Structure 1
Amino acid sequence: METGIVQQPNQGDEVARVRAFNRFYTARLGVLEQRLMDSPFSLTEARILYELAHRDAPTAKEIGAELKLDPGYLSRIIQGFADDGLVKRSPSPADRRQHLLTLTAKGRAAYAKLERSSQNEVTAMLAGLPPAERARLTAAMSTIQGLIGAGSAPPPILRSPRPGDIGWVVQSHGAFYAAEYGFDASFEALVAEIAGQFLASHDPGRERCWIAEYDGVQAGSLFLVRDSDDVAKLRLLLVTPQARGHQLGRRLIDEAIGFARLCGYRKVTLWTQSILTAARRIYQDAGFQRVAAEPHRSFGQDLIGETWELSL
């Protein structure tokens, strides 16, 4: 006979299961090793690099509060980064006792390499699972993060395109540029042509598309395509208004530059418009230089097209 009494889980068993999962997952990802993924960085150092790459000139105090690190320990790590030329420090206008921290070009390159290694390692881990099982795994991870994080949204991620993403890129570019800059349908047609060519004939070894995802939805895009054996071209950079403030544009550009270096390109080029001030600032911060500017009439507007280049 059923009694209707539901047996409550034993708290000791729950704690044991959580600890067992922690041991399994940390060992599976290799974070117990002295150096993370054969890099020169420990897990803590890599996590600090992540914060520096995804924050707009934070102070050491801000990073320490986020990661709950001892100030003295954090200070020694930051000093080591500065000695190695990875970090630049400048006095904070708000508090002269604090310094604003930014990654140098060398620091961004080091982080990009670490990010690629991490992505490749996780990609390899997931490769043995069929698509349905991968979906179950990532959904379970989101559930864990949502429950323990009190419902907070997961951080933005960069991933490869899935079915439907390229259509989203075309639609989002058309809608955004029409609303923000008054571009007509000819711009959306151009985006569709670029995206269609990529789908039909891109070389996975030398060309790539990244989709940014935030809170489970598409939040941005960037394509890197071959222009010649030595030159790669960036195309279709976009970050949605809802996802701004997370350094997604910078992350997309850094990821593309790192990939271009791995492919052996010697230069990355792009074409943009002078009115796109936010994008131009990202290009400039990443080391691109404007090499040409020319007025033109396109997309129903009088514009000044600009060519920017980065030597690798």
Structure 2
Amino acid sequence: MELLEYVESIRKFNRYYANVLGKIDQEIYNQPYPLTEARVITAIHMKKGCTATEVRENLGIDRGYMSRIVQRFEEENILTKQQSTLDKRHYSLFLTEKGFEIYKSLVENANREVEKMVRNLPKSDLSKLVTSMQTIESIYSKEHSSQPAVVIRPFQPGDIGYVAHLHGKLYDQTYQFGKMFEYYVMKGLTEFMINTEGGELWVAEVNGEIVGSIAITKSTDTVAQLRWFVLNENFQGIGLGKKLMETALNFCTERNYQHVFLWTVSTLNAARHLYQKYQFKLTEEKPNIEWTGAKLIEERWDLVLSEEASI
């Protein structure tokens, strides 16, 4: 295929894709929050403490328009500004409680319209669709960045074995966990595959290689459990743990879970530090002698997502 044919194929896909998403946007984004303003609200939620300049440059918004959006949102109690202690010319942006409710409404509306679009697709086709989108994103990012191409995506057939392998290898080599731990992981993953209702499992890829995972499973209608959070130690330090954690917690918010908990062990210092960063609180401890032959302390950590939460 000649280069011109590739170019024309890309433009044809772009026209089709823009038309599909354009129809969705028309259904979702209307006054008082058109598309650009909705994207600003989302950006502030996703990167709490960002500056107006960061949002403007990331979204490609005119400086004057961005200034008017921030001023209006502040007047309407949608966002609040906090002056930087390092540079008093800079202000960090945060959504207020009202702003967060608006964000949740935008997410619910967007999810509803996209669900209409894909509702009748077989699950195998839906998986291919999402993977293809992730591939486009990763290839283009690789072309324009010296950073590794990172993709966080829902699991596909064949991924579960990699997730179990990552756990077995990491915990054996680094923490001397034995075969019973790998059995425990595989048993839980198998049960999850039988019934994924209310949950999801994501894998992290770097340049096409699966290097980590995280999952949310349904405990009750209002309570979720965070599980199978693992990351190849060779790929720590590039923000993958943060991306996995935010993917899982955003899923909990979108599904209206009010509470999420997890189990870990006291020796996993890096993971425990990350849980503390995201406001999880240590709530329970119990001994475990099954996995290493020595006494471990299992810990339960809890995070309240809504004041109405109860367990």
- Return the TM-score normalized by structure 2: 0.70
Aligned residue in 2 for 1:26: 18
Deviation sequence 1:223-278 (CA, Å, 0-9, x none)? 333434654322212344537415313323323422552xxx55432222334344
When residues 198 and 73 of structure 1 are mapped into structure 2, their CA distance, relative to the original with a 3 A threshold, is same
Q: Is 2:165 aligned against 1:171?
A: yes
- Return the TM-score normalized by structure 1: 0.70
| Residues 273 and 306 in structure 1, CA contact (< 8 A), matched pair in contact too | yes
Q: Which residues in structure 2 correspond to 1:212-251 (within 5 Å)?
A: 212-213=204-205, 215-228=207-220, 231-241=223-233, 242=235, 244-245=238-239, 247-251=242-246
Aligned residue among 54, 58, 71 for 2:63 = 71
Aligned-partner residue type, residue 185 of structure 1: K
When residues 189 and 114 of structure 1 are mapped into structure 2, their CA distance, relative to the original with a 3 A threshold, is farther
For residues 140 and 171 of structure 2, the distance between their equivalents in structure 1, rounded to whole angstroms, comes to: 37
Aligned-partner residue type, residue 151 of structure 2: P
When residues 245 and 42 of structure 1 are mapped into structure 2, their CA distance, relative to the original with a 3 A threshold, is farther
How far has the Cα of 1:145 moved from its partner? 7.4
SS for the counterpart of 1:299 is: coil
| Residues 224 and 234 in structure 1, CA contact (< 8 A), matched pair in contact too | yes
For residues 214 and 7 of structure 1, the distance between their equivalents in structure 2, rounded to whole angstroms, comes to: 30
Equivalent residue pairs, number: 297
When residues 62 and 30 of structure 1 are mapped into structure 2, their CA distance, relative to the original with a 3 A threshold, is same
| Residues 283 and 300 in structure 2, CA contact (< 8 A), matched pair in contact too | yes
Aligned residue among 127, 143, 146 for 1:150 = 143
| Residues 35 and 43 in structure 1, CA contact (< 8 A), matched pair in contact too | no
Aligned residue in 2 for 1:44: 36
How far has the Cα of 1:170 moved from its partner? 0.9
SS for the counterpart of 2:143 is: coil
Aligned-partner residue type, residue 178 of structure 1: D
Aligned residue among 195, 208, 212 for 2:200 = 208
Aligned residue in 2 for 1:257: 252
How far has the Cα of 1:97 moved from its partner? 1.3
For residues 106 and 281 of structure 1, the distance between their equivalents in structure 2, rounded to whole angstroms, comes to: 30
Q: CA RMSD in A?
A: 4.4
For residues 302 and 198 of structure 1, the distance between their equivalents in structure 2, rounded to whole angstroms, comes to: 28
Aligned residue in 1 for 2:299: 306
When residues 207 and 147 of structure 1 are mapped into structure 2, their CA distance, relative to the original with a 3 A threshold, is closer
Q: Is 2:178 aligned against 1:184?
A: yes
Deviation sequence 1:118-157 (CA, Å, 0-9, x none)? 4564455345566579748964884587469735466634
When residues 109 and 240 of structure 1 are mapped into structure 2, their CA distance, relative to the original with a 3 A threshold, is farther
For residues 166 and 100 of structure 2, the distance between their equivalents in structure 1, rounded to whole angstroms, comes to: 29
For residues 109 and 276 of structure 1, the distance between their equivalents in structure 2, rounded to whole angstroms, comes to: 35
Q: Structure 2: which 5+ residue stretches go unaligned? A: none
Aligned-partner residue type, residue 176 of structure 1: L
Q: Structure 1: which 5+ residue stretches go unaligned? A: 1-5
Percent of aligned pairs with the same amino acid: 30
SS for the counterpart of 1:187 is: helix
| Residues 288 and 297 in structure 2, CA contact (< 8 A), matched pair in contact too | yes
Aligned residue in 1 for 2:187: 193
Q: Which moved more, 1:74-83 or 1:146-155?
A: 146-155
Deviation sequence 1:77-114 (CA, Å, 0-9, x none)? 34555566665543334423112345567766765664
Q: Which residues in structure 2 correspond to 1:19-168 (within 5 Å)?
A: 22-30=14-22, 33=25, 36=28, 41-55=33-47, 57-81=49-73, 87=79, 89-102=81-94, 111=103, 114-115=106-107, 118=110, 121-122=113-114, 124-126=116-118, 131=124, 135=128, 139=132, 142=135, 146=139, 150=143, 152=145, 156-159=151-154, 161-168=155-162
How far has the Cα of 1:66 moved from its partner? 2.4
Aligned-partner residue type, residue 25 of structure 1: Y
How far has the Cα of 1:303 moved from its partner? 3.6
How far has the Cα of 1:191 moved from its partner? 1.0
